[in-house]
Structure 1
Amino acid sequence: MFADSYLNKNNNEPIIQSDAEPGTAIIVVIPCFREPEIKQTLESLKACHLPSCKVEVIVLINHSEIATPSVKEYNNATHAELTCWIENNEIEGLKFYAPAPIELKKKWAGAGLARKKGMDEAVRRFNKLDTPDGIVVSLDADTLVEQNYLVEIENYFQQNAKHVGATLAFEHQKEGLKPKQKEGILLYEKYLSYYKQSLDFTGYPYSLFTIGSAFAVRALAYVKRGGMNRRQAGEDFYFLQNLVQMGRVGEINTTRVYPSARLSDRVPFGTGPILQKWMNGEEDLTLSYNFQAFVDLKALFDVKNSLFKIDETAFENTLQNLPATVAEFIRIDGFWRELENLNKNCSALQTFQTRFYQTFNAFKILKYLNFAHETYFRKANLEEQLLLLNTAVLTQSNIK
């Protein structure tokens, strides 16, 4: 079967004892750690229009092996509650599972390992069905979905047979939020959009939203990529940025998910911690990366083709014609060595063009932006940077 080697390597024992029904082609995975709103998420899924294939939902209740008794009691109560809910909400074509809480090794316990355990279980089930094109969907236990959620996921992957994955449109829940919290989440959404659009402006081909509750991946691509990582935060970002190196990760904009905008200190970064810092006055969401940093980066990406088979002298001459921010970062980062290795392994320009962005990837871009704002720029007003971005995009469009 397609995932035998991966499953054996990762010592994946079955979490759910029964096999998936033939015809199952979508499995939604929901990590669940001390989640008070999980039933609302399940009710949201239950209300969905059903696709032509069969669908499973796996709620992966989890905690660390050193979790406090109160956390374990909470999770056990959640398990009992969901077991009862599932028994009373049987639907033809939509199967819910909420196995007993699993204990995670204390070294790795967190969002990444929990999501990995659930997604690995989905792959194990697809493997037994020999369904490498099965869709593993990542959702969170505080997230609601639109009624066409499952149908549109099925439609997208049927219409884009070569795509390895997709992100889904999202909008945070805002009903009932206090004014400052609502202001914070609106600013955060605006920042996410600004960042993605700015990457698009530079010419970077793999810009995407990396939200844990808003992506899907084919089972075979998940296996080839090496599965989900065990990071305690940011696991979605690392997974998706590596996935785009394997194939096309598209966007599903015909449906939407609604993550919670709750405050949280469970993980070191992400929506919850950022909002918490905003509420505490420790984070100013009205500020963002200076747009000039993206303009400078675009200057590099515009001349990337000239770096194909370039020698070191010509490379240094190229740097002299680039903005100081980018040129200094490249020197400090040792990019010449990476470029030299890249050129050794690329016989054609087309191959170089693709692999260039595997080298100067989203991780390096983030590293560059942080360097630029430590050395050359200060973070600037988000609204003003959006205006600069929109003006630059309009100008670029008119030139074309």
Structure 2
Amino acid sequence: MGSDKQHQAVEKYLAGYSEPEVTQLSNIHAKYDHTLVIPLYDESFDDVLRLLNTEFSSTHSSHHLSVLFVLVVNCPEGGDGKAETRTTSLLQALKERVQTVSIGKNLHYGELVPGRGAIIVDRCSEGQRIPIKQGVGLARKVGADIACYLIANQTIKSRWIHSTDADVTLPDDYFDCVNVGHIGRQAMEESVALVYPFIHVAETGYETASELYDWSLRYYVESLQWAGSGYAYHTIGSLIAVDFEAYAKVRGFPKRSGGEDFYLLNKLAKVGPISNLPSPTIHIAARPSQRVPFGTGPAICKITENKHAVASHVFYHPGIFQQLKLAHQVINKSWHARKNNELESSANILESLEIEAVGTPLIEALEALGFARAWKHAVIQSGTEQQFKQQMNVWFDAFKTLKFIHYLRDHGYASLILNEVLNESQVLSVELRDKAVKLLSMTATEITPSN
């Protein structure tokens, strides 16, 4: 990171694609070690204050780290009136707590305590609200664009834009992840994004729903890793840190009401490595919520509706990931079929490789995704096998992988309940298998949320 070309990409992004708040930042003169972006919609003041009061420290420094919080207080246009009222009250409480000084049309800046500042973005007042279809994606983009600008002009020392949510508890050594000891110097220098490890902390009455949801997330990512996917990481917005130059290169968070974390990481994975950190661990509150269309809150709500969820909740068939592993193997080997000009379909290409394990399900799934067309394009564009594999990895991205999985789910690999997954899978880690056994022991226990 850090070439002239990359600096130009940042300048181009900030000048042409960033949100208008970026133009209001010239009056911030203090310097900070790190920055942390937090979108806030219908959150409690106590939860936000808990985050703001976290005493961040580093094992590599004797002093507490200075941090600039970017708090994007937002409401969707035409949203729930009561949620708007609560969010507006949160905005006012934050401005009073931080003792802010207005620095722009909808920005306020001030210090919480010496060495800890906050930029409060008002995207909840009338005339400032977020289009409902752009939701949390735009809220994250506003905050991350501000962070990107402040890193570029050296107000922030670290190159990482950290993103989280108000429903998490951050460890004191949260910012230590940027030290090379966690994943190695070369990996840290090459990474374009970091994904923190996490555990879910369930609200009383939602323990089983939380465990089921958590298991499904870990099962999916673990299965992707086993299958050889380059997109095997958790796509949870509260766990992400992004290199500011890479962020600019992919033009920031997508403006979506959900899935913005998935699509940002999908773009980033095509320009550099995404590293799964071994530590420090973030605690995420597992609580019911309908503020976003999907994610932890809605999943907890849905699972809780079924009092016998452990016995009936379904997961992807392990056979799908066996097919996915095979797909990666044959796609990489398909470079060797490039000189055969008579190959027109996915079936022709895969059959020419003479791999005995390739069968109809795999051929039909790849055909449905347009593999033959992508393969021909990659062959034309690539002078070496390495270039070809990179082209195909970009094509067979996280979104295509999910479509591949869903195609097989709907064509012969129907989802299974937990005990069936446990019996069918031969590759579950010991940790996941033990968690599944523990969950199955809860089969007779009804999910009973507290009132």
TM-score, normalised to structure 1, is 0.88
Question: For the Cα contact (< 8 Å) 1:45–1:145, is it kept in 2?
Answer: no
For residues 46-195 of structure 1, the aligned pairs below 5 Å read 46-51=53-58, 54-67=66-79, 70-87=82-99, 90-102=112-124, 103-106=128-131, 108-129=133-154, 134-154=159-179, 159=185, 160-174=188-202, 176-178=203-205, 181-195=206-220
| Identity rate, percent | 24
Deviations 1:332-384 (A, max 9, x none): 33210011001111111112222222111221111111111111021112354
Whether 1:361 and 2:389 are equivalent positions in the alignment is no
* Equivalent AA in structure 1 for residue 35 of structure 2: I
Query: Structure 1, residues 307-340: CA drift from partner, whole Å, max 9, x if none?
Result: 1153316515248841322111122332100110
Q: Aligned partners of 2:68, 2:262: CA distance in 1, in Å?
A: 25
Q: Residue 303 in 1 paired to residue 330 in 2?
A: yes
Superposition deviation, residue 210 in structure 1: 0.6
- Whole-angstrom distance in 1 between the partners of 2:142 and 2:261: 14
1:1-400 → structure 2 map (5 Å cutoff): 2=8, 3-10=10-17, 12-14=19-21, 17=25, 19-21=27-29, 23-36=31-44, 38-51=45-58, 54-67=66-79, 70-87=82-99, 90-102=112-124, 103-106=128-131, 108-129=133-154, 134-154=159-179, 159=185, 160-174=188-202, 176-178=203-205, 181-281=206-306, 284=309, 286-308=313-335, 309-310=337-338, 311=340, 312=343, 315-318=349-352, 321=356, 322-386=358-422, 388-391=424-427
SS of match in other structure, 2:281: strand
- d(CA) in 1 for partners of 2:166, 2:139: 12
Give the deviation of 1:116 after TM superposition: 1.0
User: How many Å separate the matches in 1 of 2:160 and 2:28?
Assistant: 13
* Normalised TM-score (structure 2): 0.78
Q: Cα distance, 1:56 vs. partner?
A: 0.9
Residue 132 of structure 1: how far off its partner (Å): 9.3
**Residue 74 of structure 1, CA deviation:** 2.0
Structure 1 gap ranges (5+): 395-400
What is the Cα deviation at residue 20 of structure 1? 4.6
Matched position secondary structure for 1:60: strand
Question: What is the CA RMSD across the aligned residues, in angstroms?
Answer: 2.9
The one-letter amino acid paired with 1:30 is I
**1:150 partner amino acid:** F
SS of residue matched to 1:259 = strand
Q: Is the 8 A contact 1:319 1:327 kept in 2?
A: no
Q: Cα gap change, 1:86/1:349 in structure 2, threshold over 3 Å: closer, same or farther?
A: same
**Alpha-carbon shift at residue 231 of structure 1 (Å):** 1.2
Alignment size in residue pairs: 390
Segment drifting more, 261-270 vs 234-243: 261-270
Aligned equivalents of 2:73 and 2:268: distance in 1? 26
Aligned equivalents of 2:116 and 2:177: distance in 1?
15
Structure 1 residues 51-90: Cα deviation after superposition (integer angstroms, max 9, x where no partner): 4563211110011243455444322210121223334983
1-structure distance, mates of 2:83, 2:327: 50
Cα distance between partner residues in 1 of 2:198 and 2:294: 19
Match for 1:164: what amino acid? Answer: V
Give the whole-Å Cα distance in 2 for the aligned partners of 1:27 and 1:296: 42
Greater Cα offset, 184-193 or 105-114: 105-114
TM-superposed CA distance for 1:23, in Å, is 4.5
Residue 293 and residue 220 in structure 1: after superposition, are their counterparts in 2 closer, same or farther (change >3 A)? same
Task: List alignment gaps of at least 5 residues for structure 2.
Answer: 1-6, 100-109, 431-451
Contact 2:123 2:129 in 1 (8 A): no
User: How far 1:183 moved relative to its partner?
Assistant: 0.6
The offset of 1:40, in angstroms, is 2.6
Q: Partners of 2:309 and 2:428 in 1: how far apart?
A: 25
